Structure 1
Amino acid sequence: MHFTGTIWRPPYEAGSALLQVTVGCTHHRCRFCSLYQDPFSLSPLSEVKADLAELQRFHPHAQRVWLTGANPFGISETKLTPILQSVRKALPNVRSIGGFVRIGDLQRKTDADLARWAELGVDGLTIGVESGHDPSLGFMEKGHTAADIVQQCRRLDAAGIGYYFFYLSGMAGAGRCIEAAQASAETFNQTKPRIIGVLSMTLFPDSRLALDVKQGRFAPAGELERLKEVRELVAGLKIETFLSTAHVSDTVHVEGMLPNDRSRILSALDRAINSCDERALENYRRRVRSL
């Protein structure tokens, strides 16, 4: 198999067959991100087909394929469609094909493109929306607004393509986390994510945000403030979705189905907020070396 650098995939894709089609990120401007060091490139179709032949031998009964890279669904349809067709031909048992996609990628796709994706089995796309709080999205240079999230997710809904969200607690900075959670809940309530995976922003020295902190342009939120942010988000969500804070970046791990498990999740967060020591949580954060 052809893999370049570190391969990132969500925890819920652990059982998926991984197929490299792109390396790096086309956007590569988010201030907090240092995951994708390699410049963006597209794998040759011949290389993709060689990897599919290998999957035929060693993973012939794969039911889901995860396309690797920061946003493989952002490439042109003339490149993407043959890849999706090749997957379906090589692995006939595959029920769905997923990967990361940016809101900006979706904005450049037509409704006909999305309909073709659905026909070829694209489903369960993961979107790093990070927040529904426009000031945070703007400062971090995410490249989309809260309104964009709603608009593009409704297009996915219309096409019959499911999706998952990543939410980044602490992204708003010190003193603004509750505000960000409230805005995000309002935004997300207009969408239908199957899963909301919460990550807690961790500052790595090779990110642009590290320099922002050093030069006083950004003040990181404390750990207890982040927990209160997650609590506010859970309290404000009115949609049916599975919420999880089980990532290595999260200091407190809770998960459950909303709205059914809301009371249990809120109680667990309240216990943590009332009993956890800020310094102990900060020590945990400092020990996180990689996402």
Structure 2
Amino acid sequence: MIYPQLHFRGQVWRPPYKASSQLLQVTSGCTWHKCKFCSLYHGTPFRVSPLSEIEADLKVIRQWQPRARRVYLTGANPFALSYNKLMHVAILLRKYLPNLVSFGMFARVTDIAPKTVEELKNLRHMKLDSINIGIETAHDETLERMNKGYQAKDILEQLSKLDKARIRYNVFYLNGLGGKGNGLESAIATADILNQLHPCIINIVSLTIFPESELYHEVLDGTYEEEPEIERLIEMRTLIERLNIKVNILGHHISNTVPITGALPDDKVALLREFDKAIAEFPEVELKAYRNRIWHL
């Protein structure tokens, strides 16, 4: 028997808490492809899946997962699609999956800008209920150096629109991105911005540099110096200490030498105590050896 196959190209990523969601490709690769540190979509050019291809995949999903309740649209940032294209996708989802409760996707901060609050509300009405956004940091110097293509003020402005539209969003913070000596500034700047917003989850991932990235070559030629592991722990501690919003913290990614999870404000004291213990007890050489053993995210 020959089983039908879905149209997946290149790398396919999803957040760990979307493990029960049905995956559906609407884009592949990334629209930006300029972040110095990133190798997640290396070698995969950006492509928008034709609506005919999306519909064909939904027919297969309806056949094999007719009661699918949650769908995650794959690609580095499917939210780059126009409002009209996203509405077409949402209509197809509702047509083929009558039990659909919600769908979500990754986005860049800049993907939100072309969409009005009213359009975002319409997408929410069509069951878009969560977006995952790699803000990385709100430290402007680091954003510029890493060629993210936006500033801290853009993070505040665009994510505020999601708050107004009542679309839940989760952000990714890239610990250590500023390089040696910049950890505290990055943590403080990011906490200041996030304290004005309402993210559901803050995912903390620690920078791990791979040969496919531009930043790898800057390390080799000495123009970028990685942030020491103890400084990274201090950075994470500072971020959590300065946050005064109600939010879930997920820091159990393989890249984190001290994995943590918790909910603020209730778990703040316990989390800070855990970092204090690690900073006092773990030698830098041991933590660095752990990072050097990470070969893939």
TM-score normalised according to structure 1 size? 0.98
The correspondence for 2:133, drawn from 118, 127, 133, is 127
Say yes or no: does 1:213 pair with 2:219.
Answer: yes
AA aligned to 1:111 is V
RMSD of aligned Cα (Å):
1.0
Correspondence for 1:204: 210
* Structure 1 residues 249-283: Cα deviation after superposition (integer angstroms, max 9, x where no partner): 11111110000000111111111111112111111
1:237-259 residue CA offsets vs partner (Å, 9 max, x unmatched): 00000001111111111110000
Aligned position for 2:36:
31
Q: String of CA shifts for 1:216-257, please: whole Å, max 9, x gaps.
A: 221110111101100000000000000011111111111100
CA shift digits 1:106-164 (9 cap, x unpaired):
11222232122111111110000011111111111111111111111111111111100
Partner of 1:171: 177
Among 65, 72, 75, the residue aligned to 1:66: 72
Give the letter for the 1:19 counterpart: L
- Per-residue CA deviation, residues 69-97 of structure 1 (Å, 9 max, x unaligned), is 01101012332221111011111211111
CA distance in 1: counterparts of 2:123 and 2:295, whole angstroms: 36
Correspondence list, 1:275-286, <5 A: 275-286=281-292
Q: 1:18 aligns with which of 15, 23, 37?
A: 23
One-letter code aligned to 1:234? I
- Deviation above 3 Å: which 4+ runs of structure 1? none
| Residue correspondence of structure 1 range 9-158 to structure 2 within 5 A | 9-36=14-41, 37-158=43-164
Amino acid at match of 1:130: E
2:193 alignment partner, one of 187, 194, 201: 187
Offset at residue 186 of structure 1 (A): 0.5
Separation in structure 2 between the aligned mates of residue 177 and residue 60 of structure 1, nearest angstrom: 47
Distance 1:102 1:290 in 2: 22
Say if 2:256 is the partner of 1:250. yes
- Offset of 1:6 from its aligned partner? 2.1
Structure 1 residue matching 2:237: 3-state secondary structure: helix
1:123 maps to amino acid: D
User: For residues 248 and 2 of structure 1, what CA distance do their matches in structure 2 show?
Assistant: 29
Q: Which residue type is aligned with residue 247 of structure 1?
A: H
TM superposition shift of 1:5: 2.1
After TM superposition, the score normalised by the length of structure 2 is: 0.96
Counterpart residue type for residue 139 of structure 1: R
Q: Does 211-220 or 125-134 show the bigger shift?
A: 211-220
1:35 maps to amino acid: L
Structure 2 SS opposite 1:239? coil
The secondary structure found in structure 2 opposite 1:279 is helix
Answer yes or no: is the 8 Å Cα contact 2:10–2:29 preserved in 1: no
Secondary structure of the equivalent of 1:99? strand
Unaligned runs of 5+ in 1: none
Q: Tell me which amino acid in the other structure corresponds to 1:34.
A: S
1:271 is aligned to 2:241 = no
Cα distance per residue 1:22-53 (max 9 Å; x no partner): 01000111000011121100111111111111
Equivalent AA in structure 1 for residue 10 of structure 2: G
More displaced, 276-285 or 111-120?
111-120
Residue in 1 that maps onto 2:235: 229
Cα distance in 2 for partners of 1:124, 1:84 equals 13
Figure out how many residues of one structure are paired with residues of the other and give that number.
291
Task: Work out whether residues 143 and 150 of structure 2, in 8 Å CA contact, stay in contact via their aligned partners in 1.
Answer: yes
C-alpha separation between the residues in 2 aligned to 1:141 and 1:64?
33
